[in-house]
Chains A and B, each alone.
Chain A
Amino acid sequence: EVQLVESGGGLVQPGGSLRLSCTASGFTFTTHDMHWVRLATGKGLEWVSTIGIADDTSYPGSVKGRFTVSRENAKNSLYLQMNSLRAGDTAVYYCARGLRGSTFDYWGQGTLVTVSS
């Protein structure tokens, strides 16, 4: 059974940093792209980052230069380093498994990040 479990969320002040983790199980981690997606209250889902099997990465303009996605295949883990956090980054952050570059087929339950003073 595919499982994705996020952790690392919490309360952080504006301008601060946070590192999210996602532990994967039930599939061969090294053969899948992995993604981060967030959901803010009252808003829709927003794609945050992608890391490919060759460690190639992509980001939307809203987080580029502030967020860094990485993976540690030996630990079946995905990470999201978030710097220079803003109130607008407050959201539940989900990790999701990629399927042949066509979709996100499995998602975790999410971890809440709150940016507030």
Chain B
Amino acid sequence: QSALTQPASVSGSPGQSITISCTGTSSDVGSYNLVSWYQHHPGKAPKLMIYEVTKRPSGVANRFSGSKSGNTASLTISGLQAEDEADYYCCSHAVFSTWVFGGGTKLTVL
């Protein structure tokens, strides 16, 4: 199972919006509405930001939103804040009861 494809880095200024893409295949993203997004500050525990493509856990700001079209999922962060600077990973359920992650995207808030 190959890793999902994410851009290595994205950047934006405070207050702007950014979108991170996550491209998989018909064996993972395209077949399951079980895409999640995680925020990871190095040295800390990863934090769930979006699950089941569009759902936000309690406590996650509504500036974070998710979507999916075909084999590509996306995470959009609006109203960027300095604290959003982190690594972001997508994850999808895949065939044969497996899970596959993306390579990660480093978000820089300028």
What is the size, in residues, of chain B's interface with A at 8 Å between Cβ atoms? 27
CB contacts between A and B, total, < 8 Å: 71
Contacting residues, chain A, for B47 (C-beta < 8 A): 107
CB contact list, B34-57 vs A, under 8 A: 34, 36, 38, 40, 44-48, 51-52, 57
Question: A50 and B99 in contact (CB under 8 A), knowing A102-B51, A110-B45?
Answer: yes
Distance A45 CA – B38 CA, assembled complex (angstroms): 10
Choice from A44, A60, A94 contacting B104 with Cβ under 8 Å: A44
Q: What distance in Å separates the Cβ of A87 from its nearest Cβ neighbour in chain B?
A: 19
Choice from A44, A103, A110 contacting B103 with Cβ under 8 Å: A44
Q: Are B103 and A104 in contact (CB under 8 A)?
A: no
Size class of the contact patch on chain A: 20 to 34
Q: Are A44 and B101 in contact (CB under 8 A)?
A: yes
Q: Are B52 and A45 in contact (CB under 8 A)?
A: no
Q: Are A94 and B89 in contact (CB under 8 A)?
A: no
Distance A110 CA – B98 CA, assembled complex (angstroms): 21
- A11 contacts the other chain (CB 8 A): no
Q: What distance in Å separates the Cβ of A108 from its nearest Cβ neighbour in chain B?
A: 6
- B24 contacts the other chain (CB 8 A): no
Choice from A58, A107, A110 contacting B97 with Cβ under 8 Å: A58
Tell me the B residues contacting A by CB distance below 8 Å: 1, 3, 6, 34, 36, 38, 40, 44-48, 51-52, 57, 89, 91, 93, 96-104
Extra contacts, 9 of them, besides A35-B99, A45-B101, A105-B51 (Cβ < 8 A), are A37-B101, A44-B102, A44-B104, A47-B99, A47-B101, A58-B97, A102-B93, A104-B48, A104-B91
